[in-house]
């Protein structure tokens, strides 16, 4: 999951086009649902899957400058299918919408910056290749050059120009990449992660170009329907521990306050081997909160994370409290996505960094958006 990630925002765009184009629901029968048994292969499956209505490529990372300053970044490309088979074959016919989010957290400077870009598919405005890995939104782009991922995006005073290496095999979540999200048939996605990607390049922050190095995390997910209508939102964690292990966890929060049993996770060893975690195998306890002045959303920015089978008892805290992306001017979707610090709650030696995503704390419920 997750990076179910704000594809929430993506689907809201389709809802925004209702009446002007067509309803998303009226087109669902034309799109392919995720089913068990599909084999995920790279680099083939880095490319786009236009038969599915929702797809996103999600990059986050913690990076350091030579002078010791720390930064976090997020670059996410969303593809939202509007009409799988437009009546017209013209390049101007609306098939997909593309939304991209770029965010940089200046941890040392205690500042958060973000911009978004929205375009429709058309004559090179935005698109995603189905034959090779390249997704773009105007001049923002993620692509594959050999085995290196290249990220380029800038607007105003912020930007990224980064090269990422594939240092580990892909982590296939759920049942070998088939990630069930709800009880209803078809509420699932194909989902894999590259959990630790050595990264180098430059960030632009306040107009200053800063050489950086560090580690990134890439998620790729595609499907057509995802959540139950009762789902309020989710909390998603990607943790990169100094002992070499990586950990992905997410939980779905229902409108009545309960946790959906389809919540899940994956432990990735330093060797790349994985262990699947069911909802009962871990616990997430929210602590201190931060309230957004922009949206009123009240987000937990401190957590206790326990995975007993792995002897992990961790504290997770926001590197900067204010890391909310609020999209009132376009989709009206708001979510918190930011850099975090990981420490051993028992006083042991486990340490790390990561990213946390929280949805459904402000605005529309995610079950309504992604059902």
Check whether 367 has a pLDDT greater than 60.
no
Higher-pLDDT residue of 9 and 44 is 44
Contact, 33 vs 282, CB < 8 A?
A: no
Any idea where the domains of the chain sit in the sequence? 7-370
pLDDT value at residue 13? 45
The two tokens of residue 262 are: 């389809």
List Cα–Cα distances, 297 to 293, 301, 316, 348, in angstroms. Answer: 8, 12, 19, 33
Cross-strand partners of 315? 304, 343
CATH class of 7-370: mainly beta
Residue 85 backbone phi and psi in degrees, to 5: -130, 80
Q: Quick one: average pLDDT of 202-214?
A: 97
Distance between CA 4 and CA 7 in Å, rounded?
6
Q: Please, what is the end-to-end C-alpha distance for the chain in angstroms?
A: 14
Question: What does pLDDT average to over the chain?
Answer: 88
Distance between CA 164 and CA 149 in Å, rounded?
5
Residue 309 backbone phi and psi in degrees, to 5: -65, -25
Q: Which of 132, 135, 113, 114 is nearest to 124 (CA)?
A: 135
Contact, 58 vs 3, CB < 8 A?
A: yes
DSSP 8-state assignment for residue 7: H
pLDDT bin (cut points 50, 70, 90) of residue 7 is: very low
The two tokens of residue 347 are: 């006083």
Distance between CA 225 and CA 343 in Å, rounded?
36
List Cα–Cα distances, 362 to 41, 292, 309, 328, in angstroms. Answer: 37, 9, 34, 11
Q: How many CA atoms lie within 13 A of 84 on its CB side?
A: 16
pLDDT value at residue 365? 56
Global pTM value: 0.90
pLDDT digits (tens, 9 = 90+) for 28-65: 568 999 999 999 999 999 999 999 999 999 999 999 99
Contact, 186 vs 33, CB < 8 A?
A: yes
Q: Which of 221, 216, 243, 199 is nearest to 339 (CA)?
A: 216
Residue 13 backbone phi and psi in degrees, to 5: -65, -40
pLDDT bin (cut points 50, 70, 90) of residue 187 is: confident
Which conformational region is residue 272 in: left (phi greater than 0), alpha (psi within -120 to 50 degrees), or beta? left
Higher-pLDDT residue of 307 and 366 is 307
Specify burial of residue 60 (Cβ count, 10 A radius: 0-12, 13-18, 19+).
Answer: buried
């Amino acid at each position: 999951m997750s990076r179910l990630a704000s594809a929430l925002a993506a689907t809201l765009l389709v809802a925004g086009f209702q009446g002007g184009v067509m309803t998303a629901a009226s087109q669902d029968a034309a799109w392919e649902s995720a089913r068990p048994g599909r084999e995920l292969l790279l680099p083939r499956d880095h490319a786009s899957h236009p038969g599915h209505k929702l797809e996103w490529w999600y990059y986050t990372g913690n990076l350091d400058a030579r002078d010791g300053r720390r930064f976090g970044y997020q670059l996410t490309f969303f593809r939202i299918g509007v009409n799988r088979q437009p009546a017209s074959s013209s390049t101007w016919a609306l098939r997909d919408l593309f939304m991209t989010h770029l965010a940089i957290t200046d941890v040392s400077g205690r500042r958060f910056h973000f911009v978004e870009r929205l375009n429709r598919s058309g004559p090179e405005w935005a698109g995603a290749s189905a034959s090779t890995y390249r997704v773009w939104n105007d001049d923002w782009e993620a692509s594959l050059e050999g085995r290196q991922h290249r990220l380029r995006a800038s607007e105003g005073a912020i930007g990224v120009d980064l090269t990422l290496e594939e240092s580990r095999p892909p982590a296939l979540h759920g049942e070998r990449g088939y990630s069930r999200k709800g009880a209803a048939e078809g509420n699932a996605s194909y989902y894999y992660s590259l959990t630790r990607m050595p990264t180098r390049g430059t960030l632009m922050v306040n107009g200053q170009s800063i050489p950086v190095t560090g580690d990134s995390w890439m998620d790729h997910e595609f499907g057509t329907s995802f959540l139950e209508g009762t789902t309020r939102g989710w909390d998603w964690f990607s943790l990169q521990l100094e002992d070499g292990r990586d950990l992905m966890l997410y939980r779905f929060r229902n409108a009545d306050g309960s946790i959906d049993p389809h919540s899940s996770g994956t432990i990735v060893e330093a060797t790349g081997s994985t262990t699947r975690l069911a909802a009962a195998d871990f616990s997430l306890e929210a602590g201190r909160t931060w309230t957004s002045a922009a949206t009123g959303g009240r987000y937990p920015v401190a957590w206790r994370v326990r995975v007993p089978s792995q002897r992990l008892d961790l504290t997770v805290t926001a590197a900067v409290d204010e890391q909310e992306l609020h999209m009132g001017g376009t989709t009206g979707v708001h979510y918190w996505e930011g850099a975090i610090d990981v420490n051993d709650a028992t006083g042991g030696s486990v340490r790390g960094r990561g990213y946390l995503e929280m949805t459904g704390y402000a605005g529309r419920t995610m079950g309504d958006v992604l059902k």
